[in-house]
Amino acid sequence: MQFDTNTKYRQNALGHLVPEDKIDKTDKKRDDLVCELIPEAETAAAAMRDFKASAMKRIQDFADFVALKCKAPIGGVKGNITLTSYDGSLRVIRAVDEFISFNEKMTAARAIILDYIANLTKGADTDLAEIVSRAFETNKDGHLATARILALRAYNVKHPEWRRAMDLISQSIVVQSTGHYIRFYKKDGNGKWQQIPME
């Protein structure tokens, strides 16, 4: 197929080259708008990524400075940090969240706990039995409720089987990924913290 070199073409969604004079004006204006906005969005996203990376580094540099001043060990981007301006009107929060799952040891821990609960004498701590039962419920996707299971470790049960199960729970934790977040706040006229939207 021969193309007129004096004619302007645009490629459609099927990969065909269509002469511009055959394309509806609205379609051309839509195409122009989208093709202008996407590079601008990519530039803005890159600038935001650069800013967040810079902000994270500066916060970590400050944390290292404080650790050095206090003669404490320096190391890695770990833990949540809240920084507040001297006048108390501005705040920056760095949050580090770990996303966890459980390995096969959780199955053993569950069996030990349920056996322990089943062997409790009549009239014993039914509240604990209810808490344990709910802790091992799964959501609609079949996943265990992480927070509920980890909360079991806070109960001060002395029984050796319970302690063994809690040790297994600790050993079953697998960190899947770590998320780093940074949030900025400013007090409004009423003294309430308002988050500065970053997206």
| Cβ neighbours, 10 Å, residue 168 | 20
Strand pairing of 173-187 and 17-19?
unpaired
- pLDDT single digits (tens) 134-183: 788 777 777 777 888 888 888 888 888 888 999 999 898 888 777 888 99
Average pLDDT, the chain: 85
On whether both 55 and 96 belong to a single domain, the answer is no
pLDDT bin (cut points 50, 70, 90) of residue 73 is: low
Is residue 198 within 8 Å of 190, Cβ to Cβ? no
On whether both 92 and 188 belong to a single domain, the answer is yes
Supply 106's token pair. 């959780």
Residue 104 reports pLDDT greater than 80 = yes
Spatial distance between the Cα atoms of 55 and 16, rounded to a whole number of angstroms: 46
Spatial distance between the Cα atoms of 138 and 148, rounded to a whole number of angstroms: 11
On whether both 11 and 61 belong to a single domain, the answer is yes
3-state secondary structure of 81: strand
Strand pairing of 173-187 and 193-195?
antiparallel
- pLDDT single digits (tens) 105-128: 888 988 888 888 777 655 555 666
CA distances from 111 to 117, 143, 145, 146, 166 (A): 10, 17, 17, 17, 12
Q: Residue 91 has what pLDDT?
A: 97
On whether both 50 and 84 belong to a single domain, the answer is no
Whether the predicted model's global pTM rises above the 0.75 cut: no
Most confident range, picked from 7-11, 89-93, 123-127, 145-149 = 89-93
Residue 23 reports pLDDT greater than 90 = yes
How is the beta sheet containing 173-187 ordered, strand by strand?
81-84, 90-102, 173-187, 193-195
Residue 195 belongs to domain spanning: 79-199
Of 25, 55, 78, the one marking the end of a domain is 78
On whether both 41 and 105 belong to a single domain, the answer is no
Most confident range, picked from 36-40, 92-96, 107-111 = 36-40
| Cβ neighbours, 10 Å, residue 46 | 10
On whether both 166 and 195 belong to a single domain, the answer is yes
Query: Among residues of the chain, what percentage have pLDDT more than 70?
Result: 89
On whether both 57 and 128 belong to a single domain, the answer is no
Of 54, 78, 102, the one marking the end of a domain is 78
On whether both 25 and 103 belong to a single domain, the answer is no
Domain count, the chain: 2
